[in-house]
Amino acid sequence: MDVREGFIGTVGRTPLIRLAGLSAETGCEILGKAEFLNPGGSVKDRTALYIVRDAERRHLLNPGGTVVEGTAGNTGIGLAHICAARDYRCIVVIPDTQSPEKMERLRLLGAEVRPVPAAPYADPNNYQKVAGRLAQEIPNAIWANQFDNLANRQAHYETTGPEIWHDTAGKIDAFVCATGTGGTLAGVSRYLKERERNPPVRIVLADPMGSGLYHFVKHRVVKAEGNSITEGIGSSRVTANLADTLIDDAVQIDDQTCVDMVYRLLREEGLWLGGSSGINVAAAAWLAREMGPGHTIVTLLCDRGDLYAARLFNAEWLAGKGLTPKLPTARHHGGTPV
């Protein structure tokens, strides 16, 4: 029997999905790790689990305790699931610019949701800093601190990286993904760079407009330009998780390219995914063309599209942002009868 133990036992071990259209178009194997199949619906389930386990192991979080986090949504959702399973109170401080679907999901899971006005990281009223202060005020509470808590990248070093290596049988040429906390890219990079492979696996950061990390990778200075509709990715600083991570290159993806890819994945592959997945897959396609045919490139399919129904999949909302999805006009690969 293959039986997993509750929500926590179901986190991880997600499959790789071959993106047939893009693979045929580029001559590369473009593989998406199906993180939307985690039980909470996103890659952040891994981070949430490791943060809670680490706090329990170090006796910082005790029975009946409270987990407080400042999050753009998915880490909060993962924490809310795990707190329900572990009988902890969960408080989520979230920028009021995030999608209403995320906030409603958090409330349904039993989390206390505290929206705050969006503010830059340097502002003391930034959502992360509000969460940190709140955790100090509550007895038997921890601040998850996903951005600078190294349990985040450890989750991906111990699970995501090894799963990718195993499922590609070590035949991977590049890994590319966007980053917010930096945990996923940092953990996967550390694991894959340690494998004996010549040449080493190439690590590429995908960045939306409005984030400063593209410029950081290219020029070692954090500098943001433009803005983006994407949620939960990009950063105005180098977090503790991302610090000292080996990154070979970076690519910047604009909103129109992201939106076009999200709709292409929906219509061509049948995958209903969020904007971060659009950024990731667009970056993987760019990297495939840059490297040339014959390479295997892995990225993340981060979360499901239902969390963005009122925005990313709302034509009126997109039009208000000057965006119109370019829908696929022809199939790039033959369908398989089912």
Query: What does DSSP say about strands 16-18 and 29-34: parallel, antiparallel, or unpaired?
Result: antiparallel
Query: Do 123 and 246 have their domain in common?
Result: no
Query: Do 88 and 207 have their domain in common?
Result: no
Q: How far apart are the first and last CA of the chain?
A: 27
Query: Do 112 and 65 have their domain in common?
Result: yes
Q: Which of 80, 113, 143 is the last residue of a domain?
A: 143
Query: Do 128 and 271 have their domain in common?
Result: no
Residue 171 has which token pair?
């035949």
Q: Is residue 20 part of a domain?
A: yes
- The one-letter code for the residue type at 226 is G
The single residue of 33, 44, 171, 223 carrying the catalytic annotation is 44
Provide the number of structural domains found in the chain.
2
Query: What does DSSP say about strands 89-95 and 29-34: parallel, antiparallel, or unpaired?
Result: unpaired
Q: Is residue 152 part of a domain?
A: no
If you average pLDDT over residues 120-148, what whole number do you get? 95
Q: Which of 143, 178, 197 is the last residue of a domain?
A: 143
Query: Do 230 and 266 have their domain in common?
Result: yes
CATH number at residue 182: 3.40.50.1100
Q: Is residue 149 part of a domain?
A: no
Strand partners, 115: 94
Strand partners, 134: none
Query: Do 180 and 273 have their domain in common?
Result: yes
Torsion of CA 36, 95, 82, 276, to 10 degrees: 20
Q: Is 44 a catalytic residue?
A: yes
- pLDDT score of 128 more than 50: yes
Average pLDDT over the chain reads 94
Query: Do 118 and 177 have their domain in common?
Result: no
Residue 282 has which token pair?
């667009």
- pLDDT score of 12 more than 60: yes
Q: Is residue 98 part of a domain?
A: yes
- Using alpha carbons only, what angle is made at residue 309 by residues 224 and 253, rounded to the nearest 5 degrees? 30
Number of helices followed by number of strands (H, E) in the chain: 12, 10
User: Does an H or E element contain 90, and which?
Assistant: strand 89-95
Query: Do 182 and 122 have their domain in common?
Result: no
Round to whole Å and give the CA distance between 224 and 236: 7
In the numeric block, the tokens 């386990």 are attached to 53
Query: Do 137 and 214 have their domain in common?
Result: no
Round to whole Å and give the CA distance between 31 and 20: 9
Q: Is residue 2 part of a domain?
A: no
Range of the domain at 139: 44-143
pLDDT > 70: percent of the chain: 97
Q: Which of 110, 143, 176 is the last residue of a domain?
A: 143
- pLDDT score of 319 more than 50: yes
Q: Is residue 127 part of a domain?
A: yes
Query: Do 135 and 61 have their domain in common?
Result: yes
CA-based nearest residue to 229, from 119, 322, 103: 322
Query: Do 67 and 168 have their domain in common?
Result: no
| Helix, strand, or coil (residue 23) | helix
- pLDDT score of 288 more than 80: yes
**Tell me: the pLDDT tens digits for 173-227?**
999 999 999 999 999 999 999 998 889 999 999 999 999 999 999 999 999 999 9
- pLDDT score of 15 more than 60: yes
Q: Is residue 260 part of a domain?
A: yes
Query: Do 64 and 129 have their domain in common?
Result: yes
- pLDDT score of 336 more than 70: no
- pLDDT score of 2 more than 90: no
Residues 6+ apart with CB under 8 A from 287: 174, 176, 202, 204, 251, 297
Q: Is residue 338 part of a domain?
A: no
- pLDDT score of 338 more than 50: no
